[in-house]
Amino acid sequence: DGGITQSPKYLFRKEGQNVTLSCEQNLNHDAMYWYRQDPGQGLRLIYYSQIVNDFQKGDIAEGYSVSREKKESFPLTVTSAQKNPTAFYLCASSRGFASGRSTTGELFFGEGSRLTVL
C-alpha cells in the first residue's frame, strides 16, 4: 500500500537535545511538508520541499531543520533552539511541482509523531 510513514510515533527528549523525526513516502510525490499541530492552533507549516535538494521555510521554521536528499525522505530535526518543542508533528506529501507546475494543495498525511520534552 502506498502511503507516508512517520517514525517514531512517540518520542521523549530532554531539554537541550536535538531529535530527528523520520518521514518516508512511497507515493512518488514531488512535494513534502512538515506541520506542527497544537491544540486550538490548527496546523502550522514548518518547512516544505518541492523537489529533491531544495526546501523552503514555512511560517514557523525557527528552531527546526530539514534535508531532502532523496525524493522519498524528508526528515525533520527539532533542535535545542526550538523554545517550545512539545507538539504533534505531521508529515505530508503532494503531487506536482515537477517542471514548475504548482500543486493543487491536496495533501496526504502520515500518522504523526508526538514529541514530548521533559
Partner 1 sequence: AQSVSQHNHHVILSEAASLELGCNYSYGGTVNLFWYVQYPGQHLQLLLKYFSGDPLVKGIKGFEAEFIKSKFSFNLRKPSVQWSDTAEYFCAVKAGSYQLTFGKGTKLSVIP
d(CA 73, CA 70): 5
| Beta pairing class for 10-13 and 113-117 | parallel
Which residue from 2, 16, 100, 105 is in contact with partner 1, where contact means CB under 8 A? 105
How many residues at the interface with partner 1, by CB under 8 A? 22
d(CA 34, CA 30): 14
Q: Mapping DSSP to helix (H, G, I), strand (E, B) and coil, where does residue 57 land?
A: strand
Which of residues 84 and 104 has its CB atom nearest to partner 1 in the complex? 104
d(CA 82, CA 71): 26
Pick from 50, 34, 26: which is nearest to 82 by CA? Answer: 34
Which residue from 18, 26, 111, 116 is in contact with partner 1, where contact means CB under 8 A? 111
Which amino acid would we find at residue 10? Y
Which residue from 71, 79, 112, 114 is in contact with partner 1, where contact means CB under 8 A? 112
Contacts to partner 1 from residues 2-41, by CB under 8 A:
33, 35, 40-41
Which residue from 30, 32, 34, 48 is in contact with partner 1, where contact means CB under 8 A? 48
Contacts with partner 1 by CB under 8 A lie at 33, 35, 40-45, 48, 58, 90, 92, 102-107, 109-112
